[in-house]
């Protein structure tokens, strides 16, 4: 049976936190929604997977290999595996779509 879900009807994060929800996963790919509200830099990531991320709602600043990117709704980028990156800050209403693959 097919189920219908809504990406926008999800729990809101507390200040300086993120909520990760897996929307789809198989042996090759994982799709996540990420809700962020960060006023201080988040965790520094060095991931085993490639990541494609799109900012669906809000504003954010990313640091990728010591380069700062200012994102607005609709912006997206590809982060190759083992590329150091982190979220520096986001607006309260930030919603990401992340696609991870090996």
Q: Looking at per-residue confidence, does 43 or 85 come out higher?
A: 85
Average pLDDT over residues 82-86: 96
Rounded distance, CA 39 to CA 15, Å?
7
- Residue 3 covered by a domain: no
Domain count, the chain: 1
Mean pLDDT of 59-68: 96
Sign (positive/negative) of CA torsion 13, 22, 46, 95?
negative
Which CATH number fits the domain that encloses residue 86? Answer: 2.60.120.10
Is 8 domain-assigned? no
The verdict on residue 89 lying in a domain is: yes
Specify burial of residue 92 (Cβ count, 10 A radius: 0-12, 13-18, 19+): middle
Residue 1: per-residue pLDDT: 63
Residue 35 within any structural domain of the chain: yes
Task: Classify residue 9: in a domain, yes or no.
Answer: no
CA dihedral 12, 43, 76, 30 (to 10 degrees): -80
pTM above 0.85, yes or no: yes
Mean pLDDT to the nearest integer, 72-84 = 97
Parent domain of 42: 18-101
Query: What is the distance in angstroms between the CA of the first residue and the CA of the last residue of the chain?
Result: 29
Q: Is residue 61 included in any domain, yes or no? A: yes
């Amino acid at each position: 049976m097919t189920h219908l879900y809504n990406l926008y009807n999800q729990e809101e994060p507390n200040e300086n936190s993120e909520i990760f929800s897996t929307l789809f996963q198989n042996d090759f790919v994982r799709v996540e929604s990420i809700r962020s509200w960060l006023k201080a830099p988040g965790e520094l990531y060095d991931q085993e997977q490639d990541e494609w991320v799109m900012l669906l709602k809000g504003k954010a600043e990313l640091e990728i290999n010591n380069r700062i990117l200012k994102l607005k709704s609709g912006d997206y980028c590809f982060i190759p595996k083992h590329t150091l990156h982190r979220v520096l800050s986001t607006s309260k209403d930030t919603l990401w779509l992340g696609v991870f693959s090996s």
